[in-house]
Each structure stands twice: as structure tokens, then as C-alpha cells.
Amino acid sequence: MSVITVERKILEKNDEVARQNRELFANHDLFVLNLVSSPGAGKTTLLERTIESLKSTIKIAVIEGDVQTDLDARRVAKYNIPAVQILTRGGCHLEAHLVREAVTNLDLRGVELLIIENVGNLVCPSNYDLGEEMKVVVASTTEGEDKPLKYPAMFRNASVLIINKIDLLPYINCSLTALRDNALKINPSLTVFETSCTSGAGIGAWCDWLVEHARRKPAS
């Protein structure tokens, strides 16, 4: 018997394309976010509120990832911003090469902020680097306070947590404190925002943070 030593990362091909994406984004001075959550946490609605608030302040482009339909790209395209839909056709996550292809179909001139909305899934997208600056995970109050403990990898790999649907707290059995504490047990360095896309609560603070970070030039 003979043994061939390999010692290679299984996802190195994706990581390499992600590195190329990161380089491309840096060349365009783009601040890029990878927006992740379970299905129905409110990613697209949060995106709509964000675009509404920031449209006159900062130029935004969006890549929408879904298993099927271009419904989300149409929702954000209504705001007259560059938007492109990736269909994974069964795939449970976006991969770096899909983002690279999508970027070639986007007019990035003048764009400062690119938001990639991943497929709704709290497991698989955590493994795949897309070349983003950071992952933003959305957890809604209706999902319950234990999601960070049940899906730790996603919360560990994210830099920002948005706790959404806080307007529903009076009607459901979810402790905002417990949800936040559970997330911080997984990742103590998370920046946390609490939002409601219905009442508009917290959207302003989130948008201020976005503008500040999108305009902050990278150290390199």
C-alpha cells in the first residue's frame, strides 16, 4: 500500500475565487456584505428599508440569491438600484464563483455598498466565503431565542447580528435579552442591532453604521 499526503482544504477552490472577488471589490472601493439568515427572518424587507433610508446618501447595489424565482431581485429593483438575481436551482447556499458571475452583470460605477443576500439557510452558507468584508446575520424574534446555540457556526462567522421583528415581542414567547446573550456566548465580538421593519425601530442606527463602514477606507 502507498499513501499520498494531501493536507488540503476541501473548499480551497471556493476560497481562491473568494480571494479574487475580494481583490475585485477592493479595486472598486466597494464595501461588501453577505446577508444571511434562516428563511423568513426578514432579509429582503430589511434590505428594502435600508435602501429606502440610504438611497439618497449612498449608492447601493444588490445581489439576490435564491433557490428559485427572481421575486426578490424585482422587489429591490423597484428602487432603481443595480440588482441581479442568482438562482441556485436547488443549491442551498451561494458560492464564490456564482457571485463572480453575478458581479459581471452589475453596473458597479459609483457603487459604494454591495449587499449580497444569501439563500435563506442557517447552516450551509457559513462554510462558503464569497469575498465579502463581513457576514451580517439576521435572527428574528419569532424564531426564538435559542437559534444562535443551535446554529453556532453562522453566528460565529458573522460580525453583525440584526435582531429583527422586535415589534412582535409583546405577542410571542421570546426574550430579547436571552437571544442577544446566546449570540454573544458564541461570538462575544458581534455588533448587535435590534430592528423592526414594520415600525422602523432601529433602522436608523443600522443605516448609520452601514454608511460609516462603507465610507471607511480599508487600512491596506
Partner 1 sequence: MHELSIAQSIVDIVGQYVPPEQAAAVRTVNVRVGALAGIVPESLTFCFTAITAGTPLAHAELAVDFIPYRVSCAACLTTSPAEPGLALCPHCGSAETTVLSGTELQVVDIELNSISTEHV
Give CA angle at 129 (124, 132), nearest 5°.
125
First to last CA, the chain: 49
Distance, in Å, from the CA atom of 208 to the CA atom of 195, rounded to the nearest integer, reads: 13
> Of 48, 43, 53, 79, nearest to 205 (Cα)?
53
Helices (H), 70-202: 71-77, 96-104, 147-150, 152-157, 176-186
Closer residue to partner 1, CB minimum distance, 126 or 196: 126
Mark residues 124-163: x for contact with partner 1 by CB under 8 A, - for none.
x-xx---------------------x--xx-xx-------
Q: How many residues contact partner 1, by CB under 8 A?
A: 30
Distance, in Å, from the CA atom of 63 to the CA atom of 113, rounded to the nearest integer, reads: 11
Contacts for 168 with CB less than 8 Å, ≥ 6 apart? 141, 142, 196
- Range in contact with partner 1 (rule: CB under 8 A) among 90-98, 100-108, 135-143, 163-171: 90-98
Mark residues 2-21: x for contact with partner 1 by CB under 8 A, - for none.
xxxxxxxxxx-xx-------
Residue 124 C-beta: closest distance to partner 1, Å: 4
Please report whether residue 89 would count as binding partner 1 according to CB under 8 A.
no
Please report whether residue 123 would count as binding partner 1 according to CB under 8 A.
yes
Residue list 171-200, contact with partner 1 (CB under 8 A): 185-188
Residue 38 C-beta: closest distance to partner 1, Å: 14
> Of 123, 97, 103, nearest to 32 (Cα)?
103
Which residues contact partner 1 (rule: CB under 8 A)? 1-11, 13-14, 91-93, 95, 123-124, 126-127, 149, 152-153, 155-156, 185-188
